[in-house]
Amino acid sequence: MKKCLVLLLLLPVAISAQSARTPVLVELFTSEGCSSCPPADQLLIEFLEKQPLPGIEIVALSEHVDYWNSLGWKDPFSAAQFTKRQSNYGDLYTPEMVVDGVTGFVGSDRTRALEAITEAARKPKVPIQVTADGLKLHIAIPKGEPADVYLAIAENNPSTNVIRGENEGRKLAHVAVVRKLSSIGRVTPTADYSHNLVVSVARDWKSHDLRAVVFVQALKTRRVLAIGSVQLN
């Protein structure tokens, strides 16, 4: 009788663990040198922490562009590769949110963001396996339409006391700041994708706040076809 009771108590937990939410990738192109960006940064924080849409997992990436760096404040998280990535989507402006690689809009527009995320979640995602043992990652993706596989290492909860530029005197908080973005392979129609790697971590990154985000982006449409993420350490 006791064994049956234990099984009954554990059953709801097992069911809950198997009920996966649909992941949607939300990229925010932002800059600490832009006075319009902090509201968008706060919106991304809200989305990541509160996960406001039932059945949907918002996977956030904050990508700091470098084209504001000559206008009074050099963003310590900025990189030219994020500017290039944004330019591949179209116009360069901050803040911009891009949902699942296809829908872009002003990054502080909460209503538009929720609509775009909800719409993106209606399209099925390819299953993906991402597991971590410390800094060792294993990634497995089934064969499918031609697509690039990306790995983003994102750091939660960094903040900066800005001393110059449009946000002078403000302490700016962020989530999911992309510290490193790499192309790590390609999905093809002929063979499953499997990859093992060890993540390299810089000394100034907070290792306990790092997360690996793997996403698959179609070559032709740029739509994000699969997303997986895992906490490191």
For the chain, domain boundaries: 22-231
Q: What is the pLDDT of residue 89?
A: 97
Count the Cβ atoms, other than its own, within 10 Å of residue 21: 13
Q: What is the pLDDT of residue 47?
A: 98
| Residue 188 to residue 192: CA distance in whole angstroms | 8
Q: What is the pLDDT of residue 138?
A: 98
pTM of the entire predicted model = 0.91
Q: What is the pLDDT of residue 171?
A: 98
Q: What is the pLDDT of residue 233?
A: 76
Q: Which residues of the chain have pLDDT under 50?
A: 1-19
| CATH ID of 22-231, from 3.40.30.10, 1.10.760.10, 1.20.20.10, 3.90.1150.10 | 3.40.30.10
Count the Cβ atoms, other than its own, within 10 Å of residue 70: 9
Answer whether 175's CB lies under 8 Å from 156's CB: yes
